Each structure stands twice: as C-alpha cells, then as structure tokens.
A and B are shown apart, each in its own frame.
Chain A
Amino acid sequence: MKTKEYIRPKSLKPTQTHYCPGCTHGIIHRILAEVLDEMNLREKAVAVIGVGCSCFAERYFNFDCIDVAHGRAPAVATGVKRANPNLVTITYQGDGDMTAIGSAEALHAAIRGEKITSIMINNAIYGMTGGQMSPTTLIGQKTSTSPYGKKAEEAGYPVRFVETLALQEGVAYAARTAVNNIGNILKTKAAIKKALQAQIDGKGYSIVEILSTCPTNWGVSPKEALKWIEEKMIPVFPLGEFKEI
C-alpha cells in the first residue's frame, strides 16, 4: 500500500485557526495552499480577503494578503491586477460577501473578464455575524433573520451565482464544487487549479463556488453538516463545471 507523508504546504502558516469545529474553511485553506505550492505560485500570489468568517485568513495563509471591505474584493483585486499583472490575484469571499453586498463588484469583474480568480465559500448563511439569512439560504431554512423559514415570496430564491457569472463572455472558468467528502475535496482542488491556470493563461475571470459547512449556525453536528450539504444543498446548487474555455 502506498503511503503519503503529510507535509504542511509552504503557503500555509503553522498556526491554529479560529474556525468552529466541523467548519470546512480549514479544508479549503489547505486545498488552496497545496495548489499554490504545487503550481509554484506562492511568491506571486495575493489573496484579497473579504468579510465573513474567513476575514482573518491572512493569519493562516503564508503569502501576501489584503483585507478589504464587505463585497469589495473583486474591485480591490481588479486594482491589484491592473497595477501589477504579474501577481496571481485571488479573492476569498463568503456567499453573503459575494452575492449580496458585493454582487455588483463580482458581476462586473466577470463582465470585464478581469484576470483574477474568485473563491466563493457558500454555506447558505451569514456565519460571522451569527447566522442570518443570505441570498443562498435555502427555501424553508431557518436563520436568525428568517426565523419562520425563508419564504421565496418574501426573500426571493437561493441565488445560483456561479451559473449567472458563467453566462458572461469574460468568464474563462466557472465551477461549483463541495468539500463534504474526499471525492468532492479532490474535485475542488482540481477546479481551483483550473481556475488559477485560466488566470495565468490570461483567459479571463475564473470562479470556484465551494459548498461548505456551518454546523454552528445550521444547528447540527459536524457529521450531520456534511450530510446536510449532500442532501439539502447539492440539489439546489448542482455541482459541476459550468464554463471552461
């Protein structure tokens, strides 16, 4: 049997994260760090980090980072990339950050075909502010601001954001993945690699939306949270590659 040694990616700092038990942010940080190491991009990378539970990610990533305002990461990343096209520019944002307050910034970065890569963590809820409804909250899902369950006629439908972006000509790569099992984790890693390659090749904007857990605000155990992604989220947010040029 082949064994593989666990080596901490150079793009990740040897430190504990603040994430709740069962939260999959840590897995996604690790995947991104592995990809940057494997593609030899650490010394050219910059993470533009939005607001949400990942807003302290600069303490975990071991490469250049910028903390920015809610929703504005694609605009900041645009400024970075236009001023220094050599930098591999990645936005790291949650679903609230990207699909609510930052929807204009994300959509227009895609429309412009901005040569940046967005990683959007979709856990169907505002995590950091304590479990409020997000544009990706599922119909019927109870949150602190949809205490009777989200109703479409009041709050609208869960936004399929990555599909919307994929319609834009400036988008080179758009995919939705999940991190609820090993197979999907590996697919997520492959998708992030493709997204970064699209940026490096100068093809345009790339995005990977990743379905992620929030056991604390969903009110379920870490194990149940993985099942919740499988049973509740994936039927609404289908996995796959929506665009690849």
Chain B
Amino acid sequence: MGKVLFKGAEAIAEAAIRSGCKFFFGYPITPQTEVAEYMAKRLPQVGGVYLQAESEVSAINMVFGAAATGARVMTSSSSPGVSLKQEGISYIAGAELPCVVVNIMRGGPGLGCIQAAQSDYFQAVKGGGHGDYKNIVLAPSTVQEAVDLVSLAFDLADKYRNPVMILGDAVLAQIMEPIELPEEKKELPEKPWAITGCSNREQNIITSSYPVPEDLEAVNERLNAKYKQIIKEEQRWEEDGVDDAELVFVAYGTSARIAKDAVETLRNKGKKVGLIRPITLWPFPKKAFKNRMAGKKILVVEMSKGQMVEDVEIAVKGQGEIYFYGRTGGIVPYVEEVLEVAEAILNNENVKKWGEDDEN
C-alpha cells in the first residue's frame, strides 16, 4: 500500500484500529474531536464500539472497564479533558491495566485556548493523578510518527500493563501529511489476568485497593521495579550531529520540527549545531545526554514556560550550559525567533541561561 494523505487526528484513530483497538470512549473537546469522530464512523464498520461518554471522567472509567476485560482500548482528549481523566489514569496505573490515552495539548491553564501548546508536559510525565505511578509518554512530531507510535503504544501498554500516553498538540492533530498505514494486527497477547468470567479458573480481581500499608508498599515496590525496567529498556530519541556540536537543540513534538529547521539553516551557515529529539518523554532519554554534554551549549525549545527543560537539566548534570526559549498561549514559535536566540548564544552574546534569574 502506498502513501495516503491523512489528517493527524484521523491517522491516530486509524492506526489504533489497525493495532487491534476495537473500543473507544471519548468526549468532544477541541482540538482532538476528529479522533472521536473518526472512531464513531469506523469502529462500527470493524465490529467495534464507539461510545460518547457523559464526561471525560466517565470516558476514562469506561476505558478502565474495557481494559479490565482484556480488550485493546483507547481514549483521546485535550488538556482540560485530560485533567478530568487523571483520577481514572491513576486507578488504571494502580490496577495495572493497559490502555492508550491520546492528549492533544492546547493552551492552558484553565480553559486557555484551543491552539497548540506543550504546557501539559509536567502533568503527562510527572504523574498528573495521585500516587506513585508513571505513564509511558510518547511524543510524535509528524503524522507518520504518530501512526507508528500508536502501534508501539498498544504493544508497550500490554507488555507492561500500564497506561501509555500519546502526547501531541493541535498542530499534529490538524495537519495533513502523506503517510503509510500499518498492516492490521491480528494476533493480540493473551491476558490471563483479565475479567472474563471465572469458568475453569479461580476468581480474578482487578484492584488498586490495598488497605494494609505493608501490602500497598509491596505493590509500590513492584510497580517501581517495573518503572525501572521501562527506564532501562524503553528510552527512545532521535539525534543528529550531537557529538561535534557546539550548540545542541533539545525539543519534542511540534517544537522539534522548528528546531530541525533551525539546525538546517545554521548548518548551511557553517555552524556546528545538533539536535536531540526525545520520543519517549517518560522515560526521559537521559542516555542521549550521558557523558556527552561537556562544554556544549544546550538550547531547549518548548511551547511552554519551561517544563521539559527541567528534565534536560537533570540529564545534563551540569556538564553544559542550558538555555531556554519558549512561547505559550497557543503560539507556535517561528524558526526565525529560535534562530535569533541560537545565534546570540553561538556569538557569546549575553543570553541568560536557564534558571539564571532564579539564583539571584
């Protein structure tokens, strides 16, 4: 099959169906509604179920129920809606159920705006809900990558029995790009833990309730061991020209598309610049930075007031100088803006380092 032109949101939905997702529970919210609309049209054609819940809270709990039966299931939302889903995501992580949650970020806080932003990074990678838990967070920067990562998301969710979040933004959801769709997945993993009726076996219980502190601590230890394994095995990133770069851009998603353009322009001018593009935001690809940043300048570009930059800071461990450029409010930075900052840094002009103000 050749390339087809697809809108990001619809491509995510089609990729999910081809990954064996037959159940979708959602609620309309801009700019992700096309995921739901596509599912409403397509799922009945493939023997699946689209259900429009009465709220985001209900939608994620319907995901919980379907996941408990062993089905591949997805929900999609945008920032304020994802906030409402966080209660359910914590329960799903606690009960160790696999599911995929798509967050097409818009500007916040509060009602904010419907344009693209990256200000839900903390919520996505640091928890969002209550308790000691982690979501695997995947951040595509093109429609093709979104399609590929949706397939990966379902596999990782099943492998680790853990929620996986696709973190995109309005640009990714609304843009149209030519893509190659994956083949339909026929074989899905066995799930002996699922709620299927207790014939020929003992009772199965899905729970996140452990009233005895020692029991809960043991569960948290077990979850933590799982998270450590994910950190070890699942760090993903794309990089280009890092080793001999004087200035390394770090950006994900839409910001990374801008950073890539900036890298190309600067290289054409003979500058030594590179790019690290995290694909997994959790686990954060610390390996990409380990013992490689000494003497380098690092420019983190985000559509937020600085969220991922804190993880970059942890990964860089003081080896290099960190700079930050961010726009918010649903404004996607122009390449020219980023170039201006990058050139000022390369020319040793007096550009403030990340956190420099805080230390005064």
Residues of A within 8 A of B (CB): 42-46, 48, 55-56, 58, 61-69, 72, 75-84, 86-87, 104-105, 108
Least CB distance, B195 to chain A, in whole angstroms? 5
Q: Choose among B59, B65, B68 the residue with the greatest number of A CB atoms under 10 Å from its CB.
A: B65
A58 touches B207 (CB 8 A): yes
A72 touches B88 (CB 8 A): yes
B197 touches A68 (CB 8 A): no
**Which chain B residues border A104 with CB–CB below 8 Å?**
54-55, 57-58
> Could you tell me which residues of chain B, from 205 to 236, have a CB within 8 Å of some CB in chain A?
205-209, 211
Please name 17 further chain A to chain B contacts, defined as beta carbons within 8 Å, in addition to the given A66-B68, A84-B195, A104-B58, sorted by A numbering: A43-B198, A56-B209, A58-B203, A58-B207, A64-B197, A65-B206, A66-B205, A66-B206, A69-B88, A72-B57, A72-B58, A72-B61, A83-B65, A83-B73, A84-B71, A87-B69, A108-B54
**Which chain B residues border A45 with CB–CB below 8 Å?**
197-198
B54 touches A105 (CB 8 A): yes
B211 touches A78 (CB 8 A): no
**Also in contact, A63 and B62, with CB within 8 A (given A75-B53, A79-B68):** no
Is residue B323 within 8 Å, beta carbon to beta carbon, of the partner chain?
no
Closest to A107 in B: B54
B203 touches A64 (CB 8 A): yes
Least CB distance, B190 to chain A, in whole angstroms? 15
**Also in contact, A82 and B91, with CB within 8 A (given A55-B209, A64-B204, A108-B58):** no
**Which chain A residues border B196 with CB–CB below 8 Å?**
64, 84, 87
Least CB distance, A13 to chain B, in whole angstroms? 8
A67 touches B205 (CB 8 A): yes
Closest 3 CB pairs of A and B: A79-B65, A75-B61, A79-B62
B54 touches A78 (CB 8 A): no
**Which chain A residues border B61 with CB–CB below 8 Å?**
68-69, 72, 75-76, 79, 105
Q: Choose among B23, B59, B95, B203 the residue with the greatest number of A CB atoms under 10 Å from its CB.
A: B203
**Also in contact, A79 and B64, with CB within 8 A (given A65-B205, A87-B197):** yes
Closest to B209 in A: A67
16 A-B pairs whose Cβ atoms sit less than 8 Å apart in the complex: A43-B197, A44-B199, A45-B198, A63-B203, A65-B204, A66-B65, A66-B68, A66-B207, A72-B88, A76-B61, A79-B25, A79-B66, A86-B197, A87-B195, A87-B196, A105-B58
**Which chain A residues border B57 with CB–CB below 8 Å?**
72, 75, 104-105
Residues of B within 8 A of A (CB): 22-23, 25, 49, 51, 53-55, 57-59, 61-69, 71, 73, 87-88, 91, 95, 195-199, 203-209, 211
**Which chain A residues border B65 with CB–CB below 8 Å?**
48, 66, 75-83
B54 touches A69 (CB 8 A): no
Alpha-carbon distance A72/B197, docked complex (angstroms): 21
B58 touches A62 (CB 8 A): no
**Which chain A residues border B53 with CB–CB below 8 Å?**
75, 108
**Which chain A residues border B71 with CB–CB below 8 Å?**
83-84
Closest to B49 in A: A82
Least CB distance, B16 to chain A, in whole angstroms? 15
**Which chain B residues border A46 with CB–CB below 8 Å?**
195, 197
**Which chain A residues border B195 with CB–CB below 8 Å?**
46, 64, 66, 80, 84, 87
**Which chain A residues border B205 with CB–CB below 8 Å?**
58, 64-67
B207 touches A78 (CB 8 A): no
Q: Choose among A58, A78, A79 the residue with the greatest number of B CB atoms under 10 Å from its CB.
A: A79
**Which chain B residues border A76 with CB–CB below 8 Å?**
61-62, 64-65, 68
Alpha-carbon distance A43/B202, docked complex (angstroms): 10
**Which chain A residues border B209 with CB–CB below 8 Å?**
55-56, 67
